[in-house]
Chains A and B, each alone.
Chain A
Amino acid sequence: MDFAPVLDGFAVVLEPTNLLYCLIGVVVGMLVGVLPGLGPAATIAILLPITIGIEPVTAIIMLAGIFYGAQYGGTITSVLLKLPGEASSVVTVFDGHALARQGKAGTALGIAAIGSFIGGTVSIVALTFLAPLVAGFALDFGPPEYTALALLGILLVATVSGGSRLKAVIAACVGLLLATVGRDMFTGGERFTFGNLDLADGLDFVPIAMGLFGLGEILYNLEERHTAAAAPARIANVWPSRSDLKQSSGAIGRGSVLGFLLGILPGGGATLSSLAAYAVEKRRSKSPERFGNGAVEGVAGPETANNAAATSSFIPLLTLGIPANATMAVIYGALLVQGVNVGPRLVDDDPELFWGVVNSMYIGNILLLIMSIPLVGLFVRILRVRPAILAPITVLITLVGVYTVNNSVFDIVLVIVFGLLGYLMKKAGFDPGPLLLAFVLGSLLEDSLRRSLLIFDGDAFAFFTRPISGTLLAVFLLVVLYPVIRSALTRRRSAERPIDSKELV
């Protein structure tokens, strides 16, 4: 492997502007991590228009900083207030808050910060070596492979993400439908445009993301009354003891690997990996009863994993141009707005961007480690900002921001429409994530499928004759059929043992 571009990447990161934006990114990330409700996807969506005026590397460095910075920040409120700032920190509440009640909040936060740092760093190192490999391999990714990958991605997002599977599939289907609006790339025919020129090119990604995540979340959060939770005034001994560190070292190691792997997976990402890491730690433990009552591993594992995953989910995006989760979809949007061609050739064509972004994560993680320990008290104070003040400001930024992207009033209307949709979806228990991701992957899926069929001369079975697309489709079928088979098996088993079935009901 040629390390010259990697080193050049450091030169890019160390430019004062990029360092500054990296710092801004992680600080904003920490803040939104602390604030419940406003997640990294929403924040990045809202900030998309701001990135237009700055260079692509700088913009993505900042947005990436928001993403992994939020993973640190989310921990703080989970531990101190039993109020997870992020979905990926929900499991940290169990043991983190238990530790805080025992007066060991400092230990929990310290372990989480150290775990996050290690998980993030391990993941960046792995990313550094793996991403060029994937990219080298990526030339083998033709239309059939992209078809299979997009299909699998949409399915995994719909099934793996939390909440009701049916609702997620419905949301994904709506996303696919929305992706069909606009001119047909193959024939030039217009679809669902109703003769409207604004729709001729299809719906733009940015206003949809800003509406669904930005406006939608703000509206939704206005409903929830956040009683100003009183944070503990002081946090003592932030540095974990040697025995705590020893106890959690295994968890940090396993969390790094698990987080890295789950982060790459489409539909995976920070939330899933933190849940999985917690389950793994609990299962491995010799004394699982400690979990929920202040087990240090219960904080270390998930916190390490969510950070590792936040980093590794950049791999499919930067190498294949496939966003693995909703936040990555928004960052993908940022790259599109910047005119960056994300795909297999990014590492070679634009090494400065690629390595600049990757290497900025080392710096960002160090900044976060430095900030998160002494500045905890400061960040907790942010919680006192009332939503009544924060919400109107954010809405204003969103609406002004979206206008600046294309100088289009139509985009403002789109944001409002999708903001309402996002709000209603959340109220009805639909996660807007699958919708957005399916929207992004929808045109890729359709175009790749049609290209493949042109290449195969209409032979649909040819998908199975190519190793990569064949394997991906086999995995797709497995994921689809697994629940069916499992439920068939349980039904048969319960039919054999009628007493059990009563218990199940």
Chain B
Amino acid sequence: MTTNHRVRRWATAGAGLTLALSLAACGGNVGGGSAEGEDFPGDEPITILVGQDAGGSTDLIARELAEGVSDELGVPVTVENKPGANGALAAQELAGEDADGHTLMVYNGSLAYITPLANEDAPDIADYEIVTGISLDDYVLVTAPDSGFSTVEDLAAAGRPITFGTTGVGTGSQLSQELLFAQADIDATAVPFDGGSPTLTAVLGGQVDVGSIQLGEALEQIEAGELDAIVTFAEERPSFLSDVPTAVEAGYDVPVQQSRAVFAPKDTPDEVLEALRSAFEVAFEDEGYQAFNEENALTANQVDGDEIRETWTSNLDEYRSVVEEFGIDLGGDQ
């Protein structure tokens, strides 16, 4: 849980502050140049916005990274949760912040390439700078062991409309299943829950037939035999669940992954972005961080901003065309 993170955050913040003070005491900023961004981060703290609740995977990732970045840059790095609208609220706040690198956000790919399919007001990634990619999170289609379903064919042969739990409207959980069931020609109703944990509980209790959940959240139950994995929605079999076929292997071309990246406000100076990128690179190298990824079934995806922008934009285009092809309506799916 989040328990230790707060404590640790304060500890690192404290350590960072001490470091900053001692650096300042050593004789001011080197060069004292006038060009903005040259003395980044100075002794100002950095805030990382998170558009999800404390304790969720995005939040945990942000907190894990904040620690490493703070150590590297020598200033306190705090995580601020601004949950709402799948992260759109936090993105909106980020857009209004000064482009000085002191306010960042862990941006979820789903907000960039899925939410716009459900809601036209979704933010556009063209309005932000991208510091670096972080990691990929796979979705897995799970069911209760006594449901009698173990393959997509079983679902198609159910002889009745099936129900599927999603972690919310406009999420990868919803899109992955909508696409799969549309392609497999399965009559299915989406039941949105409020996040991964309630969805998991609903599948465990057989309240819905199946549900698509992020791998890290379901892995423990799958390994314990409390849940059966039908397919994963990854491009290739994730190493954490190598004996379960992907939807692509099962004959349905619908890779949907949750990708995360660090965003900064538009027009943040290049020097600042560069400084931030190298600080994050150091944080990625940390053993604790890598163990964290392993534990939460996250696949590292530490590519640069341009690559993220390219992938996410093409994802959006691709999903938009499939969704139109099959007549899927993510928003008003009642």
Say yes or no: is B77 at the interface (Cβ < 8 Å to chain A): no
**Please, which residue of chain B has its CB at the minimum distance from the CB of A350?**
B1
Q: By the criterion CB–CB under 8 Å, are A451 and B193 in contact?
A: yes
Contact A343 B197 (CB under 8 A): yes
Bits for A419-454, please: 1 = Cβ < 8 Å to B, else 0.
000000000000000000000000000010001001
The verdict on A142 contacting B3 (CB below 8 Å), with A186-B334, A197-B89, A455-B191 known, is no
Closest residue of A by beta carbon distance from B53: A339
Checking A53, A55, A343 against B3 with a beta-carbon cut-off of 8 angstroms, the contacting residue is A55
Is A457 touching B161 in the complex (CB atoms < 8 A)?
yes
Output the residue of B4, B170, B189 with the most chain A CB within 10 A. Answer: B189
1/0 per residue, CB under 8 A from B, across A205-226: the answer is 0000000000000000000000
Binds A, one of B201-209, B245-253, B263-271: B201-209
Q: Does A237 count as interface, using CB distance less than 8 angstroms? A: no
CB contact list, A383-419 vs B, under 8 A: 407
Query: A200 touching B163 by the CB < 8 A rule?
Result: no
Task: Output the least CB separation between B257 and chain A (Å).
Answer: 22
Instruction: Give Cα A185–Cα B200 distance, bound, in whole angstroms.
Output: 18
Find chain B residues with CB under 8 A from A200 CB. Answer: 84-85, 89
CB pair B197–A345 under 8 Å, yes or no, is yes
Known interface pairs A143-B207, A186-B334, A200-B84; A454-B1 also in contact (CB < 8 Å): no
The chain A residue sitting closest to B168, CB to CB, is A185
- Majority secondary structure of chain A interface residues (helix, strand, loop or mixed): loop
Question: How far, in whole Å, are A344 and B198 apart by their CA atoms in the complex?
Answer: 10
B205→A140 contact, CB < 8 A: yes
User: In the complex, how many angstroms separate the beta carbon of A293 from the nearest chain B beta carbon?
Assistant: 53
Per-residue interface assignment for chain B, residues 47 to 87, with 1 indicating a CB less than 8 Å from any chain A CB and 0 otherwise: 00000011110010000000000000000000010011100
Contact present for B163 and A188 (CB under 8 Å):
no
Q: Give chain B residues whose Cβ lies under 8 Å from the Cβ of A338.
A: 2, 54-55
The answer to whether A227 has its CB under 8 Å from any CB of chain B is: no
- Tell me which residues across on chain B come within 8 A of A485, comparing CB atoms: none
Contacts of A139 in B (CB 8 A): 201, 204-206
B311 within 8 A of A: no
Residues of B within 8 A of A407 (CB): 80
Does A142 lie within 8 Å of B1, measured CB to CB? no
CB contacts (< 8 Å) of B205 on chain A: these are 139-142, 344
Q: Is B118 an interface residue (CB 8 A)?
A: yes
Contact: B7 with A55, CB < 8 Å? yes
- Give the CA-CA distance A186 to B194 in the complex, in Å: 10
User: Looking at A57, A345, A353, which has the most chain B CB atoms within 10 Å of its CB?
Assistant: A345
Chain A residues, Cβ within 8 Å of B55: 338-341
Evaluate contact between B207 and A142: CB separation under 8 angstroms: yes
Q: Is the CB of A187 within 8 A of B334?
A: yes
Interface code A180-201, partner B: CB below 8 Å = 1, 0 otherwise? 0001011110000000010011
Q: Mark B154-181, 1 if CB is under 8 A from A, else 0.
A: 0000000101000011100000000000
Range of interface residues on chain B? 35 or more
B273 to chain A, nearest CB (A): 26
Please state if A343 and B201 are interface contacts (CB–CB under 8 Å).
yes
Highest count of chain A CB atoms <10 Å: which of B4, B85, B204? B85
Partner of B191, one of A55, A350, A454: A454
- A276 to chain B minimum Cβ distance, whole angstroms, is 34
Complex Cα distance, B203 from A139, in Å, reads 9
In the complex, the answer to whether B163 meets A56 with C-beta atoms within 8 Å is no
**Are A201's CB and B89's CB within 8 A?**
yes
Structural contact, A340 and B84, CB atoms closer than 8 A: no
A57 to B3, CA, bound (A): 8
How far is the CB of A414 from the nearest CB of chain B, in Å? 16
Residue of A nearest to B209 (CB): A455
- Chain A residues closer than 8 Å to B59, beta-carbon distance: 339
From A188, A201, A339, give the contact of B169 (CB < 8 A). A188
Tell me the minimal C-beta distance from A168 to chain B in angstroms: 28
**Which residues of chain A from 17 to 66 have any CB-CB distance to chain B below 8 Å in the complex?**
52-53, 55-57
What is the chain B residue whose CB lies nearest that of A408?
B82
- Pick the contact of A455: B10, B54, B163 (CB < 8 A): B163
0 or 1 for each of A230-242: is its CB under 8 Å from B? (1 = yes): 0000000000000
- The chain A residue with its CB closest to the CB of B160 is A457
In chain A, positions 157-189 with a C-beta closer than 8 Å to chain B are 183, 185-188
- A144 → chain B, closest Cβ, in Å? 8
Q: Is the CB of B197 within 8 A of A142?
A: no
- 27 of the cross-chain contacts (CB-CB < 8 Å) are A52-B6, A55-B4, A55-B7, A56-B2, A57-B3, A139-B201, A139-B205, A142-B206, A183-B84, A183-B85, A186-B334, A187-B331, A188-B85, A188-B118, A200-B89, A201-B83, A338-B2, A338-B55, A339-B1, A340-B1, A340-B55, A343-B198, A344-B201, A345-B197, A345-B200, A345-B201, A451-B193
Q: How far is the CB of B114 from chain A (nearest CB, A)?
A: 12
Q: Does B119 contact A (CB under 8 A)?
A: yes
How far, in Å, is B322 (CB) from chain A's closest CB?
20
B192 interface residue per 8 A CB criterion? yes
User: Which chain B residues lie closer than 8 Å to A197 at the CB level?
Assistant: 89, 92
Whether B169 and A187, one on each chain, are in contact in the complex, defined by CB atoms closer than 8 angstroms, is: yes
Is residue B190 within 8 Å, beta carbon to beta carbon, of the partner chain? yes
CB A393 to nearest CB in B, in angstroms, measures 26
Q: Which residue of A lies closest to B115 (CB)?
A: A188
Q: Is B332 an interface residue (CB 8 A)?
A: yes
List A contacts of B10 (CB < 8 A). Answer: 53
Kindly list chain A residues whose C-beta atoms are within 8 Å of the C-beta of B191: 143, 451, 454-455
* Interfacial chain B residues near A341, Cβ < 8 Å: 55, 197
Closest chain A residue, CB of each to CB of B10: A53
Known: A197-B89, A345-B201. A185 touches B169 (CB 8 A): yes
